[in-house]
Amino acid sequence: EAGVVQSPRYKIIEKKQPVAFWCNPISGHNTLYWYLQNLGQGPELLIRYENEEAVDDSQLPKDRFSAERLKGVDSTLKIQPAELGDSAVYLCASRRGDGGELFFGEGSRLTVL
Amino acid sequence: QQQVKQSPQSLIVQKGGISIINCAYENTAFDYFPWYQQFPGKGPALLIAIRPDVSEKKEGRFTISFNKSAKQFSLHIMDSQPGDSATYFCAASIDGSSNTGKLIFGQGTTLQVKP
């Protein structure tokens, strides 16, 4: 069974440009998370989806970040416009709706110049 | 109160030695305490986890010790191997009936096991 798939793995952009990250969770996993991991730090939750509903987006900077999970499967995280401080790894994770282990993707590393 | 504090920041151990990483938390509502292992360029992967109704859990060379009264838990890696060299994160969450899986992570410990 495939794990959590993220793309692109690496992205380099100029500040003020937009960027989008895509995540395909493990099949059958209703809950999807986006985490932010700064260099040398632990991941921090940005947003959590139960199916297509964003049930916890309190940590998402809504002035420039947006996310969607159409049809309750794949998800996209967008930053517009990107700032220098957004350089980090964006991790997607998923788990079954009834709990269980949280599985992470390999992450999308963003560098903003 | 939502923080999880992890120490040390980095650790160097000889092959065959014991690696010990410690974490402390404040929120007594936390009821799930996992440890994650992360290799460079990879996402974190669950290593072992414990709930507060037990004081110790062992899986192979990895053991979690949990002290509810002190609000501390630790990871012990016995017979450490060079392949264990990675960054380790402790985490905590309030699962309970809501089962949110919202993990609060520690700052991470970079472990290097020397051959």
Tell me the three state secondary structure of residue A85: helix
**Using alpha carbons only, what angle is made at residue A87 by residues A83 and A92, rounded to the nearest 5 degrees?**
115
Whether B43 and A98 lie within 8 Å, measured CB to CB: no
In tens, the pLDDT along A36-59 reads 999 999 999 999 999 999 988 989
Mutate to test the interface with A, among B35, B38, B93, B110 (most CBs of A within 10 A): B38
DSSP character at residue B114: E
**Closest-CA residue to B30 (of B101, B109, B89):** B101
User: How close does chain A come to B57, measured CA to CA in Å?
Assistant: 16
The band of A1, judged by pLDDT with boundaries at 50, 70 and 90, is: low
**Closest-CA residue to B32 (of A59, A101, A31):** A101
Alpha-carbon distances of B110 from A42, B35, B38, B84, rounded to whole Å = 12, 13, 9, 10
If you average pLDDT over residues A11-39, what whole number do you get? 96
Q: Which residue of A has its CA nearest to B90?
A: A42
C-alpha A112 chain-centroid distance: 17
User: How close does chain A come to B101, measured CA to CA in Å?
Assistant: 7
DSSP character at residue B93: B
At residue A101, the pLDDT reads 84
Convert A30-48 into a string of H (helix), E (strand) and C (coil): CEEEEEEECCCCCCEEEEE
